[in-house]
Amino acid sequence: MIRVTAMNRKRFVGDWAMLGTVFGLILFGLLMIYSASNYTARLHMGNAFYYVERQIFTVLLGTAAMFLMMKLDYHRLLKMALPLYGLSLLLLAAVFVVGTASHGQKRWIYIGSIGFQPSEFAKFVLIIFLASICGAAGSMMKKWKGILLVFLWMMPAAGMVMVTNLSTGIIIMGIAFIIIFTASRQWLPFFVLMGLGGGFMGVFLKLASYRVGRIEAWLNVETHPKGYQTRQSLYAIGSGGLFGRGYGKSIQKLAYIPEAHNDMIFSVICEEWGLLGAGIIAALFMFLIWRCLITANSAPDIPGALLTMGVTAHLGLQMLINIAVVTNSIPNTGIPLPFISYGGTSLIFLMCEIGIVQNIAQQGKTYIS
Amino acid sequence: MHIKIYHRRKMLIVAAFIVGIGLVLMGRLAYLMIFRSAYYQSQADALHERERSIKAARGLIYDRNQRILADNKSVCTISVIHNQIKEPEKVIRVLSEVLSLDEAKVRARVEKVSSIERIKANVDKALGDKIREYKLDGVMVDEDYTRYYPYKTLASKVLGFTGGDNQGIIGLEVQYDAYLQGIEGTILTTTDARGIEVENTSEGRVEPIPGSDLYISLDYTIQSYVQQVAKRIMEQKEAKSVSVILMNPKNGEILAMTNEPEFNLNAPYLLPENAETDAIQDALNQMWRNGCLNDTYEPGSTFKIITSTAALESHAVSQNDRFYCPGYKIVDDRRIRCHKISGHGSESFVEGLMNSCNPVFIETGLRTGVQVMYQYFDRLGLMEKSGIDLPGEASSIMHQIDNVGDVELATISFGQSFQITPIQMLRAVSAVINGGKLITPHLGVRIVDAKGNMIRLHYNEEAHVIGSEVSDTMKALLEKVISEGTGKKCFIEGYRIGGKTATSQKLPRGSGKYIASFIGFAPADNPEIIGIVLIDEPTGAYYGGTVAAPVMREIFENVLPYYLGQWPDIESDSGDGNE
């Protein structure tokens, strides 16, 4: 069946609805980045378009990468899974040595003036890696041993990410959990794992005291000094009401919300577009999830379906955690809103993943037809 | 490796899980944005909005002829906002040129990285407008009011001045502060997290209510003339200070009040060159002090008016009673001298008053008795503050009535051993000559608010504190003091003047320091104006009759035609020589 797809490679038969939604979100993201950042950008950078310009560059780069991935047969990607995983481990290890700190955490590697987050790369690679080994494991995935082995394989990467960046670590664990869960026939091990994961989280939170401070801030968001950012986000969301203040009219973006174009951009969307606008954005994400589910279902093989589910998990979890943070539903942690938040590495890999899913969609459709 | 049913089921579960949590979060979002919206909106508004006050224009002070004595002047405050400046060199050049400031100083301010930097305050509006015309980015010209006194030193101690917050510091500005101040307005503006105002956001605005205008009884023309004379005399006599009050004795309206040296109201913190600089606040307080009411003095012989009134009305003496002055009088074991060491010899009570003879008044006082004397002090308002509408009035310093022995009574009778303020003295004498009505000296006449509503100010008056017969007698006697007695130097041909001189020795006795004073009124039979002149520590001649009386004559000569609206009644002369 690989041969069959190869024959039809010339004609694009991807998921137009998914692609359209993604670009819609990205363009809306550019609009919102401008709105959220122009005041502070003019103030601090002397150029109101500073962040938008950079993001447009990222989008162009990401689009190119995405089309590359769309053309690239995902099976070739699956074959490169192990070397990619090795590279990712190397980069993650490198962060500890040559990493640059941002907001108190070493998460970045700079080559010249271009920053790169190895943890984002690890996310991307792990989706491919897990889809590859779960697919290869076949009937092994029915056994406890197989499930545990797969988890053990990814732990070095997940562990290294988690040390410096708990939230990305949790997302990686979540993605892995969903891929393995989908791959396996078993149910019980996953309930056990969920329990274990919860316990592990508790211990980790107790150990890392600065995160406990965040929990106190979460519970007392109106008064706790560390609750400032979330408090500002809530003010913005509440000020939006049903229909919002209108585009560009957010006041909370005037340096009240720190880096409003970043992780907190959803609160500016709420303030300017109201519940209606925020609901539409959320609905677009749901639509995207649904299109991914369709693709996964029509994928030509199990690794393709697992890859698609990994991407779905990545997208879905980030979106959920981001919205949960800005609405103070969970303690504050910095996760960008997919396709909309300002940020290079994250967007480029997300677009690559959409490219992969498009390739799966092409092959799947061809296969079905 | 086909996708199995369980794969599909699990994929559906994952998707449903994501969508399910998503819906829960949407529910939370809806709760925040609908039910908590009002709360967060108000919290956010409280955070964004800054209340900036708009100054209310302070009420003006007008004299009796609607001449503005205390005005408001539009001034500008020039400031720069560092990150809005586009042409720093041009800004520096324009600001230093127009404001005539040192270029390096302006440069330092312009180049300083701060949210807003003030270049100069209290800039003339014309200059502010000029800067505005350049339309420089990042240069702010804010308009503001400042108090302005067009006649600088005119009645400085009466008018007073204001501080930076539009509050009165001394004088009428303090007394009528509540009326003059008005009510500040507010502008509600939206600011960013640093508190900087954001343009193009809707502003809530509450207009300020201007202060009410105060109309006072002071007459600019009389005041400026009186002040000019007082200043000249102070310089001529090298005196410490010269005080003059002119008042309408019938209703207490003050026409002029000066206590030279006055100070420039537009620069009230500028001390005179010879001032002691080690205690600046004391020196300032000294400079702002209004001796007419903030300080007490021993009235001396002018007080014989009071003693006479008490004695005549209680019939302790009559006008034609005979006295003998050997140049002194022995009271108990004290020998109290008359100013005329050789003595006035035999004289009637009237002659005693004309001669200002101490032994006559000692005898008069003793005959009247302390009870009656104090009763009259009380009636004539000497035991209380005059009630003038100026802050900081001093109280009189009197003996306790139980402690007054013959010696004390004797000295009180000719105006020594106690202290009162000049305004109290003037008030008491006014009651004596106006038919017995105790008035309240005052300046404020009416208050008119911005809408034109008028409040007429009322003051206490107490009629019949003495009988009109004695009042008439006293007017006649005091006119004789001028026409034939010690007050001759205040005689003006064509006018009927009454008055009394005084020479008070300052404490400690024998220091050689005196206050020469004079109280005069005109026309003597129906007084329309009463005045007091006090020359504090004159050098050379220090007798009230010699030093103070001519000052009052000079003032009366010029003020009476203007104020009474009639030229002196001289048959041989049309009066040209009097102006």
Give the model confidence (pLDDT) of A266-288 as tens digits. Answer: 999 999 999 999 999 999 999 99
Shortest Cα distance from A73 to chain B (angstroms)? Answer: 18
Of A93-102, A146-155, A232-241, the least confident: A93-102
User: Which of A39, A147, A223, A275 is the best substitution to test chain B (most B C-beta atoms within 10 A)?
Assistant: A275
- Do the Cβ atoms of B25 and A327 come within 8 Å? yes
DSSP B286-346: HHH--HHHH--B--GGGGHHHHHHHHHHTTSS-TT-EEEESSEEEETTEEEEPSSTT--EE
Domain ranges in chain B? 52-82+93-216, 220-578
Which residue of chain A comes nearest to B31, CA vs CA? A238
- Do the Cβ atoms of A239 and B40 come within 8 Å? yes
Shortest Cα distance from B195 to chain A (angstroms)? Answer: 10
CA–CA distance, B293 with B203 (Å, rounded to integer): 49
- Do the Cβ atoms of A182 and B198 come within 8 Å? no
Which residue of chain B comes nearest to A281, CA vs CA? B26
Q: Which residues of B are catalytic?
A: 301
DSSP A117: -
**Residues of chain A found within 8 Å of residue B201, distances taken between Cβ atoms:** 251
Q: Read off φ and ψ for residue B440, nearest 5 degrees.
A: -105, 115
Per-residue pLDDT, B534 = 96
CA–CA distance, B324 with A19 (Å, rounded to integer): 129
**Residues of chain B found within 8 Å of residue A290, distances taken between Cβ atoms:** 15, 19
Domain B52-82+93-216, CATH homologous superfamily name and number? Penicillin-binding protein 2a (Domain 2) (3.90.1310.10)
The top-level CATH class assigned to B220-578 is alpha beta
Of A224-228, A296-300, B214-218, the least confident: A224-228
CA-closest candidate to residue B176, choices B461, B450, B443: B443
Beta strand A100-102 with B185-190 is: unpaired
User: How many beta-carbon pairs below 8 A join chains A and B?
Assistant: 135
Backbone dihedral region for residue B301 (phi beyond 0: left; psi -120 to 50: alpha; all else: beta):
alpha
Per-residue pLDDT, B579 = 35
User: Which of B2, B9, B11 is the best substitution to test chain A (most A C-beta atoms within 10 A)?
Assistant: B11
**Residues of chain A found within 8 Å of residue B14, distances taken between Cβ atoms:** 178, 181-182, 309, 312-313
CA–CA distance, A32 with A38 (Å, rounded to integer): 10
- Do the Cβ atoms of A235 and B30 come within 8 Å? no
Tokens (6 digits) for A87: 């590279």
Give pLDDT tens digits for A162-219. 887 878 888 998 999 999 998 888 888 888 888 888 887 777 767 765 666 777 778 7
Cβ-nearest to B22 among A274, A282, A301? A282
Per-residue pLDDT, B577 = 39
Shortest Cα distance from B293 to chain A (angstroms)? Answer: 58
**Residues of chain B found within 8 Å of residue A275, distances taken between Cβ atoms:** 29-30, 33-34
**Residues of chain A found within 8 Å of residue B10, distances taken between Cβ atoms:** 181-182
**Residues of chain B found within 8 Å of residue A127, distances taken between Cβ atoms:** none
Interface of B with A (CB under 8 A): 1-4, 6-8, 10-12, 14-15, 18-19, 21-22, 25-26, 28-30, 32-34, 36-37, 39-41, 43-44, 47-48, 83, 190-194, 198, 201
- Do the Cβ atoms of A329 and B41 come within 8 Å? no
User: Which of A251, A252, A286 is the best substitution to test chain B (most B C-beta atoms within 10 A)?
Assistant: A251
Q: How far is CA B326 from the centre of its chain?
A: 47
- What's the burial of A135, exposed, middle or buried (CB within 10 Å: 0-12/13-18/19+)? buried
- Give the model's confidence band at A12: pLDDT under 50 very low, under 70 low, under 90 confident, else very high: low
**Residues of chain A found within 8 Å of residue B1, distances taken between Cβ atoms:** 135, 138, 301-303
- Do the Cβ atoms of B8 and A275 come within 8 Å? no
Instruction: Give yes or no for a contact between B162 and B70, defined as CB atoms under 8 angstroms apart.
Output: no
Beta strand B61-62 with B213-216 is: parallel
Q: Is the ipTM of this complex over 0.85?
A: yes
Other CB atoms within a 10 A radius of the CB of residue B120 amount to 19
User: Which of B2, B6, B17, B25 is the best substitution to test chain A (most A C-beta atoms within 10 A)?
Assistant: B25
Cβ-nearest to A252 among B3, B44, B191? B44
Residue type, B420: I
- Give the model's confidence band at A3: pLDDT under 50 very low, under 70 low, under 90 confident, else very high: very low
- Do the Cβ atoms of B22 and A319 come within 8 Å? yes
Give B53's strand partners: B186
CA–CA distance, B364 with A249 (Å, rounded to integer): 91
Do B220-578 and B52-82+93-216 have the same topology in CATH?
A: no
Query: Which residues of chain B are under the pLDDT cut of 70?
Result: 1, 52, 115, 194-204, 275-276, 570-579
- What is the pTM for the complete model shown? 0.65
Cβ-nearest to A238 among B18, B22, B41? B41
Cβ-nearest to B18 among A183, A256, A316? A316
Name the residue with tokens 């302070």.
B58
- Do the Cβ atoms of B15 and A312 come within 8 Å? yes
User: Which of A254, A273, A357 is the best substitution to test chain B (most B C-beta atoms within 10 A)?
Assistant: A254
- Do the Cβ atoms of A238 and B21 come within 8 Å? no
CA-closest candidate to residue A358, choices A319, A321, A307: A307
- Do the Cβ atoms of B201 and A183 come within 8 Å? no
Shortest Cα distance from B106 to chain A (angstroms)? Answer: 23
Cis peptide before A303 (omega within 30 of 0): no
Shortest Cα distance from A274 to chain B (angstroms)? Answer: 8
The rounded mean pLDDT for chain A is: 85
Reduced 3-state DSSP string for B267-288: CCCCCCCCCCCCCHHHHHHHHH
Measured between alpha carbons, how far apart are the two ends of chain B, in Å?
128
Angle between helices A50-71 and A16-45 (to 10 degrees): 150
- Do the Cβ atoms of B14 and A317 come within 8 Å? no
CA-closest candidate to residue A250, choices A45, A34, A46, A29: A34
- Do the Cβ atoms of B25 and A320 come within 8 Å? yes
Instruction: Give yes or no for a contact between B14 and A313, defined as CB atoms under 8 angstroms apart.
Output: yes
DSSP B489: G
Query: Can you tell me the mean pLDDT for A138-144?
Result: 79
CA–CA distance, B321 with B491 (Å, rounded to integer): 27
Per-residue pLDDT, A369 = 40
- Do the Cβ atoms of A293 and B39 come within 8 Å? no
How long, in residues, is chain A? 369
Which stretches of A8-143 are DSSP H helices?
16-45, 50-71, 74-79, 81-98, 118-137
DSSP B535: E
- Do the Cβ atoms of B44 and A241 come within 8 Å? no
